Chains A and B, each alone.
Chain A
């Protein structure tokens, strides 16, 4: 797991998980899996923009594009 994956995974754990025993990985479905609701995605988007100093256009911030840490990393890498 690279640094970017770790950073994003940690943020998701802290920001969204309520059950400490719940385990998530880089391919865990976040939105379709009910961990992050589409309305709460906004804080994830803001975190990514601030952390990686990027601007994510709305058309790239869809529930499908944000569904796993790996997918999110792909978007971030494109925009850095």
Chain B
């Protein structure tokens, strides 16, 4: 049959359904380096537009940092471009081991294994360490990659209401008879910008003899006083059994991820995790860049301190202007609009004003919870944030939502 008209029609129909649902994704082409100010081609073929980037995970502003770029160049010269092998055959260099050691020290864990991405780390870890005798109990808002990873594991899975410790405790009691129990959460929840109560969770895990897993992709490098992550913020460094995180966000933003934690669990990943076993690891050029990032972060907290101040400044400005925000103290600041169409119109108007921020709606976030998610960076100066705030206020006035309650906005636009 091959790729017949019938087959083509099936896919065209599916793609049309995605378009009709308003969730068809289109890429915007950035013609500059990743930074606070970027030049964007959108839609395809249009002339370049200079905009302030308010939606990158470039939390520490290291994506195009000259020292990181220089280290990557040196790595390219000294260790070459690719390894043409998986880790356990002939794909491991000294710098891979060095990065694993640096990350272990930084996170305060026992050992670390690199993965091509944190998506891969999450996809591989559960299958490697659990069996059908075990149970995974996850927060309902964990990242999609964790959900995929749990689906690949034969262990039983269940969920608890987002950050609801009483519900988590009920589930720990319910599964008391399982051989191994593991509680699974994001450190910082990427759509809401709130943090997992890791101190309380560690207490519950101790009480019920469960392991604890945290994906700190939106935290490593800047959450906690010295940027170690959510576990540092909650005073439980050394208590995490597994931390997964990424080098694709704050830590230079190129690619790569890892599983860090108890040495036996890391070793199980080295023996059994399929994305580690059957895929090349992080390219030498990227490893070299991340090593420089780790040095920068270990020398000074200047960048995470600036990020914290920027995020406070931004939250304060939006709140005083009369926007409804999701509560939190991270650089992820969601501006609540509730209505899906309003979130898309608002985002488009922002873009016209030179501000690049994306509107999210169901199914990415719960129904009636549409929002513009803004993400603050240490690369932003107050001037960027002031200009962005002016644009938010101008458009907020246009839609008459400033100072309005949720109910008033829903009455005007629906949810």
A: which residues have CB within 8 A of B?
Answer: 16, 18, 33-34, 37, 39-40, 42-43, 46
Contact = CB atoms under 8 A, between A and B. Distances in A.
Contacts of A39: 147, 150-151, 157, 159
A40 B159 CA distance: 6
Contacts, number: 25
Interface stretch (B116-124, B192-200, B359-367): B359-367
9 contacts: A18-B162, A39-B150, A39-B151, A39-B157, A40-B159, A42-B156, A42-B157, A42-B158, A43-B159
B158 A34 contact: no
Contact of B140 (A33, A37, A46): A37
B156 to A, nearest CB: 8
A33 to B, nearest CB: 7
Given A39-B147, A39-B157, A42-B157, A34 B162 contact: no
Interface in B121-171: 140, 147, 150-151, 156-159, 161-162, 164
Contact of B363 (A16, A18, A34, A43): A34
Interface residues of B, number: 15
B182 to A, nearest CB: 15
Contacts of B159: 39-40, 42-43
Given A18-B162, A39-B147, A40-B140, A34 B362 contact: yes
Contacts of A42: 156-159
Contact of A34 (B150, B161, B366): B366
A33 B157 contact: no
Given A34-B367, A42-B157, A43-B158, 16 more contacts: A16-B161, A18-B162, A34-B366, A37-B140, A39-B147, A39-B150, A39-B157, A39-B159, A40-B140, A40-B158, A40-B159, A42-B156, A42-B158, A42-B159, A43-B159, A46-B158
Nearest to B158: A43
